[in-house]
A and B are shown apart, each in its own frame.
Chain A
Amino acid sequence: MSKSIDQVFVNAKQWLLSWLAGSPTWMIQVVSDLINIFALLFVFLTLFAFMSVLERKILARMQNRYGPNRVGPFGLFQPIADGVKMLIKEDIVPARADKIVHFLAPILIAAVAILTLGVIPYGRNMTPFTIDGGVLFFFAVGSTTELAVFMAGWGSNNKFSMLGAMRAIAQMISYELPLLITVLPVVMVVGSLMPDRIVAAQADYTFGLIPRWFVFTPWGAAAFILFFVSGLVESNRTPFDVPEGESEIVAGHMTEYSGFKYATFFLAEYIGMFAISGLGITLFLGGWHAPARALEFVPSYVWFFVKLSALLFVYIWIRGTLPRTRVDQMMNFAWKFMLPMAFTCIVAAAVWHYAGRGLRGWLWSLVVIAVVYTALSMLLDTKRKFAPRVYRFAE
């Protein structure tokens, strides 16, 4: 019973394809891909709509106010109202803008974000596109975002846009390094770039109790935290939303966009957030595996989306808690702390592997991480004393 519920979407797709039985293979292939694409778009666009209203709700709760509560029950229909509003708004293109580039930038940025969703395993047998180098595909396609952001900034012909795009590209390139390098230990330990294999490698339980997710090893935990922070930067979320910087450069590369093009940028940001969280779940949090053997009767895709919602909640939580960082602080953090720590994760994973992947390896890799962390924090300590601010001219 639980098995058939687990495979219900896979079976539904097979059933749909059975209508085509007898037609040429290429046609079945194309239709199967189209079904995958429609399912992905449907699920994640719905999730985007709900996420936008949930984020406002949760932020409102954290700031002691109501949030949207007018449209529908509990304000749940807010995204529909927002969508209609965005669609009927006037689309303003600046007279001096580069029309083609200005038009193509939001399309490219959203397309790239949606493409990266395609390689993540959402459940047992539920990877939309199985590629041998799936993780590499994710990052290769994701790196195109930089060009799209540049197009948005340059095409607008506006100095705020250009400054915002420069900031965005600078931080994306800086944090792409730690992001990639934190993925490497997982790839090394599993010995494959295929997301399905990485998930399969985390299937078992230690002592039949603790799941073998990589986040439960010292190197995995460190790498996951680094990965998550880099993910925050890559999706331009608070506290790293310097490119937007409403108070200084008026939404950065999105300054000259209005109406649905502006909404497309937001769509891309949220989809990017889903994708990077999905990859984090695949790499470190055991993919669609249940956290305990007793809970394996719950369908695999439910576990994936439970983990995804947990991560998304953390994203919102951080947004409600932390102030924006300064550009130079952020860059220093990337190059002086994140990058060396990411390299340490590789070493720690190697130590863990060669010490037999058992308790001994666990302790040794913890020692490696702890030593480097302490050394780095001592080196980077500015020895600056912090005291309550003294107001000299105002009381």
Chain B
Amino acid sequence: MNGLAFILIAIVTVAAALAAATLRSLMHAALSFAVALVGIAAFFFLLGAEFVGLALVFIYIGAVAVLIVFTILLTRRDVGKTRGFNWGGAIVAAAVFGGLILAILKTQSLAIVAPHVPRLTVKQIGAALMTGYVWPLQCVGVLLTAALIGALVLVIEEKR
């Protein structure tokens, strides 16, 4: 059952990722990128990491995908135009893919049967964030506040 679900999700995700890389229209590519992200979130659900999957949907579909789409819309005059094939990008992608494959093949093979990991509840994640990882959390908070203030400053400038 899980194997079947894995194969289905994998097909959808890889197809969407390929579409994002190859589609001629930039907007279509951005939207298929969002579909690929949904597929990745589905993998996390399949692995029982609900919180990570939900956070992925929340941040990447709800915020990042909308941001990408708006960036395309607001910065390009030729939104409607199709794009050419970017060979440099393809070479970089192939290099990264090759590197990852090499790294994966060189690592010691894991046991086929996964050890039984108890399902993490959101509460446990929250407790961990508030005790062991409180400093990284605070640092992220400061960074986000700085970004927020920066955005505000950019907007206020216009008013004068």
Contact = CB atoms under 8 A, between A and B. Distances in A.
Interface of A: 26, 98, 100-101, 131-133, 136-137, 139-141, 143-144, 146-147, 150-151, 154, 169, 173, 191-193
A369 to B, nearest CB: 25
A318 B65 CA distance: 33
Given A146-B62, A147-B34, A132 B27 contact: no
A139 B121 contact: no
Contacts of B57: 140-141, 143-144
Contacts of A133: 50-51, 54, 122
B63 interface: yes
- Contact-residue bracket for chain B: 20 to 34
B121 to A, nearest CB: 5
Interface in B46-65: 50-51, 54-55, 57-58, 61-63, 65
B10 to A, nearest CB: 19
Contacts of B69: 147, 150, 154
B50 A132 contact: yes
Nearest to A133: B122
B21 interface: no
Interface in B22-47: 25, 27-28, 31, 34
B148 to A, nearest CB: 11
B76 interface: no
Contact of B62 (A131, A140, A191): A140
Given A101-B31, A133-B122, A144 B61 contact: yes
B58 A192 contact: no
B12 interface: no
A150 B34 CA distance: 13
B140 interface: no
A131 B61 contact: no
Nearest to B34: A147
Given A144-B61, A192-B123, 19 more contacts: A101-B27, A132-B121, A133-B54, A136-B54, A136-B58, A137-B54, A140-B58, A143-B61, A143-B63, A146-B66, A147-B34, A147-B65, A150-B66, A150-B69, A150-B70, A154-B73, A169-B70, A173-B66, A193-B122
A147 B25 CA distance: 17
12 contacts: A26-B1, A131-B50, A139-B58, A140-B61, A140-B62, A143-B62, A146-B62, A147-B34, A147-B66, A147-B69, A154-B73, A169-B66
Contacts of B51: 132-133, 136
A133 B58 CA distance: 12
Interface centre among B34, B50, B63, B122 (most CB of A within 10 A): B122
